[in-house]
Every structure is written in structure tokens, then in C-alpha cells.
Amino acid sequence: MEIFLYLIALAIIVILCGASANNRRKKQGRTSESVSTPSENTVNGTSEELKLLTKVREIFESGKAMPLYDIYKEVEYNEAIEILPTKENSKASELFHQYCHAISNRYYIKYYELKPSESNKINLRDGELIYYTICDSKLFDSKNLYRAVDLGNIYFTNKRLLFVGKQFNVVKSYTYKSIITYNRYKDAVSISIENQNPKLFKFEPSKDSLFIQDGLNELSILLPRFINNNYTQDSV
């Protein structure tokens, strides 16, 4: 009888301790939750992480270009307090900083002088330098908008806009003077080329939940800078 009563008392203690621990975690805001990412996967994180992630994603989707300090200020993020992953291996913190980088990068390429970089992966003309690369764009020709010509990277050089395909090795180049007009759509940018059919550069969300595809905004920002030849000057 004494053993039976002892077991009952022990069970009650375990239940009460478990409830107390859950209450403490809720008060501390460390309970694990989840949020949907651009790739439609679920990212787990604490309530603080997901709150910040939701705020910064709203800024990203609005198309704003902001310096990092202003982003932190708007989402009320204290840089001195690092967001740490939870025991469930949360990726919310990493995704938060990826969004911040994408938004602040828009600000940089829109207002600051661009610097050239070297590349041994593609063939360039004499004196040609790469100033910016946009990854994973699908190129369509206006003759057939239902089938992509290729999937590849867009390179902004000091001489031309260059597309290099990764699947079929298609290479297309357009001088900035030959670009008559360009238009932005929900997920693509169309370019009218002198004496050619219009081209369409389409962007899709990355399958990698930690890679933020921002090619649509990057292409829209950079085209006028290179067409007007002011990409080597600060405008702030």
C-alpha cells in the first residue's frame, strides 16, 4: 500500500514539474513555432525569431531598398542580442539575415559605385570586366514564351549585358545602346532589343530555403544604371 501511494505521489510530481517547465518556456518566449518560407518549406524557430522573420520578409516583398541599419530599426532588431537557433535546429535566424542582406544589397547596387570582379568561368572580350552577376534566370524569346531558351546567369559588364546558360550552354549578349525599352512584371523583366525579338528574363523562388532569389529587383535596379552609364558613381 505504501509503495502504491509513493508511485501516485511521484507521478503527480512529474506532471507538475512538466507543466511548470512548459510555463517557464512560454514566459521566456522560447517555444518552437514555424513559418512558411519562399520555397513553401516550413522553418522552425522561436517566437522572437519568427516575429523578426515575418517583419523583414514584409519589407523584402514590398521591394524596398534600405541600408542595414534602417532595416534593423524598422523591424526592432537589437544587433547586440544575437538570435540563436533552438534545439530544433531552427533556420529562422539564418533566413532573417539572408533577407536583410538582400534588402541592403538593393540599396548598395542602386546608390553606390559598383566595383569590377574577375572571373575565369566565362570568356570576356579584351578590356571587359564583370561588375555584377545575377544567378538563376530563365531566358525566353518572344517567339516562344512557353519554353525557356536556357537557365543561366546574367552578367553586367562594362561593355554589354551577357547571359550564359548552364543547361544548354546558350550565350546571348546585348550592348546597352541596343536596349530600347524594358518592362518589369510580377516575376520577370522584358527587354526590347534593337533589330531583335524582345527577350524575357524570368525568376522563380529558389528551392533552397536559405537562398533568397532577388534577381527581379536586381535586374530592374541595374538596367537603368548601365544603360545611363552611371554605375561607377555614387548617387547618395
Q: Is residue 143 part of a domain?
A: yes
Per residue in 177-220, pLDDT tens?
Answer: 999 999 999 999 999 999 999 999 999 988 776 789 999 999 99
Looking up cell 545575377, which residue turns up? Answer: 134
State which residues form the domain around 204: 130-227
- 42 with 36: CB under 8 angstroms? yes
Together in a domain, 48 and 85: yes
Per residue in 156-187, pLDDT tens?
Answer: 999 999 999 999 999 999 999 999 999 999 99
Q: Is residue 69 part of a domain?
A: yes
Kindly state the average pLDDT of the residues 14-32. Answer: 41
Together in a domain, 198 and 141: yes
pLDDT confidence bin for 145, thresholds 50/70/90:
confident
Together in a domain, 146 and 194: yes
**Does 228 score more than 90 pLDDT?**
yes
Together in a domain, 137 and 214: yes
Give CA–CA dist 128/125, Å, rounded. 5
Position 20, amino acid: S
Give CA–CA dist 43/117, Å, rounded. 34
pLDDT confidence bin for 78, thresholds 50/70/90:
confident
Position 143, amino acid: K
Last residue of a domain, one of 111, 141, 159: 111
pLDDT confidence bin for 18, thresholds 50/70/90:
very low
Together in a domain, 49 and 81: yes
pLDDT confidence bin for 44, thresholds 50/70/90:
confident
- 70 with 55: CB under 8 angstroms? no
pLDDT of residue 187: 95
Together in a domain, 151 and 220: yes
Together in a domain, 97 and 157: no
Beta pairing partners, 150: 139
**Does 128 score more than 70 pLDDT?**
yes
Together in a domain, 149 and 190: yes
Question: Could you give the C-alpha distances from 15 to 11, 21, 108, in angstroms and in order?
Answer: 6, 10, 55
Closest CA to 155 of 175, 177, 124, 130: 130
The beta strands (E) that lie in the chain are given as 32-36, 42-46, 130-141, 150-157, 161-165, 171-174, 179-184, 188-193, 199-202
pLDDT of residue 178: 97
Q: Is residue 197 part of a domain?
A: yes
Q: Hey, how many other C-beta atoms are within 10 angstroms of the C-beta on 125? A: 12
Together in a domain, 152 and 222: yes
**Does 81 score more than 70 pLDDT?**
no
CATH number of the domain at 148, please: 2.30.29.30
Beta pairing partners, 155: 133, 162
pLDDT of residue 104: 98
CA angle 193, 198, 201 (to 5 degrees): 105
Last residue of a domain, one of 45, 79, 111: 111
**Does 77 score more than 70 pLDDT?**
yes
Together in a domain, 154 and 194: yes
pLDDT of residue 34: 47
pLDDT of residue 22: 45
**Does 121 score more than 90 pLDDT?**
no
Together in a domain, 77 and 48: yes
Together in a domain, 37 and 97: yes
Please count the structural domains in the chain: 2
**Does 19 score more than 50 pLDDT?**
no
Cell numbers for 28, please give them.
521566456
Give CA–CA dist 80/89, Å, rounded. 22
pLDDT confidence bin for 221, thresholds 50/70/90:
very high
